Amino acid sequence: MAVKIRLKRLGKIRAPYYRIVVADSRTKRDGRVIEEIGQYHPTEEPSIIKVDSDRAQYWLSVGAQPTEQVTALLKLTGDWGKFKGDKNAVSTVRTAEAKGEFVADASKKSVIKPQAAKKAEEPAAEAPADEAPAADATDAE
């Protein structure tokens, strides 16, 4: 049985993402797989490439043949170099920069009141309303 490491397409029309899978070479592109070993999101900036290196090394060592696209991805992650015996193989995958924490502009007036301030105002507004009818009742007597 010939085993291939290939891409399984998921996602919507014009918004694809892929899983890197190990499957029998005779199965359909999106059909039954033996194991999922990674993921690839080409539409993100930078592209997301995640590969379980141990499982990729195992499947390559037992003779699984990667497709051209998967070979290119394995070269980026450094797994292909490790398989070929290059001790200095490293990942060259770009990662997204961490986003800074959001800080509201203090010079602009806030439209939304904090919830604590809203709760403090509500009981204060109700207290004078309770006192007014009580005062009217004592005047009537």
- pLDDT tens sequence across 74-114: 988 888 888 888 877 777 777 777 778 877 777 777 677 66
The residue that leads in pLDDT, 120 or 3, is 3
pLDDT at 10: 93
Task: Measure CA 7 to chain center.
Answer: 19
pLDDT over threshold 60, residue 28:
yes
Give every CB contact of residue 84 below 8 A, 6+ residues apart in sequence.
none
CA distances from 99 to 3, 42, 96, 102 (A): 40, 20, 9, 9
SS3 content of the chain, % helix, strand, coil (to 5): 35, 25, 40
CB of 3 within 8 A of CB of 33? no
Instruction: Quote the CA–CA distance of 31 and 9 in Å, as a whole number.
Output: 10
Classify strands 65-66 and 3-12 as parallel, antiparallel or unpaired: parallel
Predicted model pTM? 0.65
